[in-house]
Amino acid sequence: MDAETLTRPAVLILLGPPGAGKGTQARMLEDKFGLVQLSTGDLLRAAVAAGTEAGLAAKAVMEAGELVSDEIVIAILRDRMAEPDCTKGVILDGFPRTTVQAKALDDLLATSGQKVSTAISLEVEDAEMVTRISGRYTCAMCGEGYHDTFKIPAVEGKCDNCGGTEFKRRADDNAETVAARLVAYHAQTAPLITYYDAQSVLKRTDAMGQIDDIARDLEEIVGAAMS
Ligand code: AP5
């Protein structure tokens, strides 16, 4: 590896269907490796809450469980990646989700001599996803994620991360929308597994186990990618 390659920030991608644990694992990797988690879902939800033009266009599409247009998502991601903290390296959570987005990312990175470091496919079964998503909630203050069964705060009603006592559930976390999101994943996003395999940057990991066991597997993969 040459010196220039060593100094380039890592660009990691977490691929996986809704509920695979992308957000949960991305936040743990962010803490461990000092990377910045970029979730296009979070960026879009912020745009919806702020009532921006992009947010207004995205709202109904997200509530239907379909994919927001490539044009909107690529523009949001490009703007976020231009912010100074991203020079530390990024974990992309929920982007890219189509081949058009993957190519746009390659083009964007190429302008600064960068490439995708590793794309990690979180492999899970569809039936488990419905259980995971229907029990999910997050801290309203810091966004830390929880689950009614699989991840509960150490002190009931109090966020482990910030001590907040308000929690919220997402508008698109209902059985009907989850089914549509899984259809969109298999039709439009799963082909990216082949896309990154062809670039020799794909790693697969079994994401059906316990959160901490999966985190250990991912730390190994990410540690190797950053060394
Ligand atoms: P987005 O916000 O990206 O949602 P998603 O991909 O559907 O993924 P989720 O956030 O639902 O799941 P996750 O994999 O992060 O799982 P989590 O860690 O929370 O996108 C929402 C919408 O925005 C899309 O439908 C689309 O409309 C739009 N959008 C976003 N990006 C887009 C793009 N690039 N292009 C076009 N449109 C876009 O875990 C889920 C739950 O399970 C949690 O409660 C967690 O505690 C629990 N859990 C996690 N791991 C485990 C485990 N191993 N065992 C048990 N429970 C677990």
Residues 33-51 pLDDT 10s: 999 999 999 999 999 999 9
- First-to-final CA distance of the chain: 10
- pLDDT for 2 beyond 50: no
**pLDDT value at residue 8:** 67
- pLDDT for 226 beyond 90: no
User: Using alpha carbons only, what angle is made at residue 55 by residues 114 and 66, rounded to the nearest 5 degrees?
Assistant: 80
Task: Give the position, in ligand 1's atom list, of the atom nearest the Cα of 132.
Answer: 42
Distance 41 CA to ligand 1 centre (A): 8
Task: Give the position, in ligand 1's atom list, of the atom nearest the Cα of 96.
Answer: 34
Residues 3-44 pLDDT 10s: 444 456 899 999 999 999 999 999 999 999 999 999 999 999
Distance 2 CA to ligand 1 centre (A): 36
Q: Is the dihedral of CA 135, 212, 23, 199 positive or negative?
A: negative
The mean per-residue pLDDT over the stretch 175-184 comes to 91
**pLDDT value at residue 7:** 55
Q: What are the pocket residues of ligand 1 if the criterion is a CB atom closer than 6 Å to any ligand atom?
A: 16, 18-24, 39-41, 44, 61-62, 65-68, 73, 94-95, 97, 101, 132-133, 135-136, 145-147, 150-151, 181, 211, 214
- pLDDT for 209 beyond 50: yes
Distance 7 CA to ligand 1 centre (A): 31
Contact 35, 132 (CB under 8 A): no
Q: Which residues are catalytic?
A: 22, 97, 136, 170, 181
Nearest CA to ligand 1 atom 52: 211
Task: Give the position, in ligand 1's atom list, of the atom nearest the Cα of 98.
Answer: 35
pTM of the model: 0.92
| Dist CA 20 CA 107 (whole Å) | 27
Task: Give me the amino acid identity at 198.
Answer: A
Residues 110-145 pLDDT 10s: 999 999 999 999 999 998 888 889 889 999 999 999
